[in-house]
Amino acid sequence: MTTTADPQTASTADALRSTYQSGRTRPLAWRRKQLEQMARMLEENEAEFLEALRIDLGKPSVEGFITDIAFVTSEIKPMIKHLTRWNKPKWVSSPLVTLPARSRLVPEPLGVVLVIAPWNYPIQLLLVPAAGAIAAGNAVVMKPSEVSAATSAALGRLVPKYMDTSAVALVEGGVPETTELLAQHFDHIFYTGNGTVGRVVMAAAVQHLTPVTLELGGKSPVIIDRSANLKVAAHRVAWGKWLNAGQTCVAPDYVLVDEKVRQPFLDELGKAITEFYGPDPHASSSYGRIVSPRHFERLTSLMQGGTAAVGGQSEPGDRYIAPTVLVDVDLEAPLMCEEIFGPLLPVIPVSSARQAIDFVAARPHPLALYVFAGDKGVVDQVLAQTTAGGVTVNGTILHLTNPHLPFGGIGESGMGGYHGESGVRLFQHLKPVLTRGTAMDPSIAYPPYTDLKAKIFRRIL
């Protein structure tokens, strides 16, 4: 790993600020061209990116295409289509006291934006926020994760080839480079990762009073009510949990299942795993790997917090951990005190929806919450009495695929939301502009303040 930052890193923000101040990033034509080039980069180099994802995460090509290639292009295309409308000033009404006047909100870019991405979806989680920043008219510095080294290298080679390097920069490296970047003055910092580093990012941002967006994680719960369709629930939980071998910030972290349907749900979950990955998931071409030996060791240690009802096998040489369902869970073990971020799924029985709600409410707000129930009253109760960054009812993960729904956390799971138009607005200031006419200039607005003026003010204000 690199131990000292590249000297050029220290001047990155200043170089891009010069470009931004020249006005280069403001024209819609420039923004559109950069978005088109980003999409073109992904489409023309799909095979290289998918191979990099395979090396880093053992990611199946279909999964890599869906979650890291197509996800990004499906975000970019609406940005291109709606670029003019999303960046158009919006007229608003003006109160009587301001007349004659017209008022509008004018979207303007913030300046130079830093996007720091994690390793688990290293293309999606770098390029989607960067695309929003570009569509908003900003210059952007992108910092991919050094943990997903092959993907970082591919991005490092291809981004300068396709994008305008005077306004879009990509900085590779590890902690020294990130630290150097955080010491510079940016107009917005967008970080996706864990809460520990999130606190470091916020502390650095304070030095320049830089606003931040933090997309963190946490322990996203699943509530399985006795009224749920258990077969469907098992399939959807299994898909959401073992996608990317569980290395997803909104993956189901643990399940709270009504004790009356606990065993049938466990049976269906076991069937779903076999259906998805066969009798030996290690041999499945549809199942990924843990990103590094360090994360592998952390996960195998967490496994001690419960008893494996399904799975439990691991192979360090291949960074393989089987899809694992844990029962008889110790609620005080690290398994239940930190985000798992891997293929381990604790299943905990509860006596009722009420107990499940209380369990969730007593813990930090999660990034996502999932509830499976046929009883609408239970769903409404869960929605009303829990807080989470986002919710999917009778499903997992899919709320973040809708560009009309902002994606983000709350409390310890993050702050700020993006995707779609929200991902453009995040990197803009809606500048209020009031323009007064000069044909009339009523004297009532000026001193001296007479009794008559006072009466009129009280009537109209």
Tens-place pLDDT, residues 377-402? 999 999 999 999 999 999 999 999 99
Residue 6 confidence (pLDDT): 61
Q: Which of 215, 268, 339, 421 is catalytic?
A: 215
249 belongs to the catalytic site: yes
Tokens found for residue 115? 């996007």
Residue 291 confidence (pLDDT): 97
Q: Per CATH, is 7-216+412-432 categorized as 3.40.190.10?
A: no
Residue 2 confidence (pLDDT): 38
Tens-place pLDDT, residues 336-365? 999 999 999 999 999 999 999 999 999 999
CATH says 221-405 is which class? alpha beta
Query: What is the C-alpha to C-alpha distance for residues 92 and 107, in angstroms, rounded to an integer?
Result: 13
How much of the chain, in percent, has pLDDT values that exceed 70?
A: 98
Which whole number is the average pLDDT over 190-204?
Answer: 96
Mutual orientation of helices 195-206 and 175-182 as an angle, nearest 10°?
40
For the chain, the average pLDDT equals 96
Peptide bond into 448 cis (omega under 30): yes
pLDDT higher than 50, residue 144: yes
Tens-place pLDDT, residues 324-341? 999 999 999 999 999 999
Residues 6+ apart with CB under 8 A from 197: 191
Tokens found for residue 59? 């990611």
> How would DSSP label each residue in 427-446?
TEEEEEEEEE-SS---GGGS
Residue 285 confidence (pLDDT): 96
Confirm if 417 and 406 have CB atoms less than 8 A apart.
yes
- What are the residue ranges spanned by the domains of the chain? 7-216+412-432, 221-405
Tokens found for residue 349? 């029985």
The DSSP H or E segment spanning 19 is helix 12-21
Residue 444 confidence (pLDDT): 86
Residue 443 confidence (pLDDT): 87
Instruction: Using only the alpha carbons of the chain, give its radius of gyration.
Output: 25
Q: Which of 63, 172, 249, 268 is catalytic?
A: 249
How much of the chain, in percent, has pLDDT values that exceed 90?
A: 93
At position 229, the amino acid (one-letter code) is N
Tens-place pLDDT, residues 42-58? 999 999 999 999 999 99
